Amino acid sequence: MKIANVQGEAFILESATKGRRVLGLQPYEMAMPKFSETAKVSDVDEYQPANLGLLVNEPRQIFAVGMNFADHSAEIHEKLPKVPSIFTKFSSCLAPANTTVQLHGPKTDWETELVVVIGQAGRNISKESALDYVAGVTVGEDLSDRDVQFANSTPQFSMGKSFENYGVLGNVLTTLDEIPDLDNEVITTKLNGEIVQQAPLSQMIFKIQDLIAYLSSIVNLQPGDLIYTGTPSGTGVGRDPQVFLKPGDVLTGEITSLGQLTMTMA
- If you average pLDDT over every residue of the chain, what do you get? 86
| The pLDDT value given to residue 98 | 92
d(CA 156, CA 112): 20
| The pLDDT value given to residue 35 | 38
| The pLDDT value given to residue 49 | 62
Each residue's pLDDT tens digit, 134-181: 989 999 999 999 999 888 988 888 999 999 999 999 988 998 988 999
36 has a pLDDT exceeding 50: no
Each residue's pLDDT tens digit, 206-238: 999 999 999 999 999 998 899 999 999 999 999
| The pLDDT value given to residue 12 | 75
10 has a pLDDT exceeding 80: no
| The pLDDT value given to residue 6 | 72
Phi, psi of 13 (to 5 degrees): -95, -40
- 239-245 mean pLDDT: 95
Sketch the domain layout of the chain as residue ranges: 54-265
| The pLDDT value given to residue 209 | 98
CA dist 16 to 75, 108, 134, 166, Å?
A: 44, 42, 21, 35
256 has a pLDDT exceeding 90: yes
In sequence order, what DSSP letters do the residues of 74-139 get, joined into one string? HHTT-PPPSS-EEEE--GGGEE-SEEEE---STTEE--EEEEEEE-S-BSS--TTTGGGGEEEEEE
Q: Residue 184: which pLDDT band, with cuts at 50, 70 and 90?
A: very high
As assigned by CATH, the class of the 54-265 domain is alpha beta
| The pLDDT value given to residue 34 | 45
Q: Residue 11: which pLDDT band, with cuts at 50, 70 and 90?
A: confident
Each residue's pLDDT tens digit, 61-115: 999 999 899 877 777 667 788 999 999 999 999 999 999 999 999 999 999 999 9
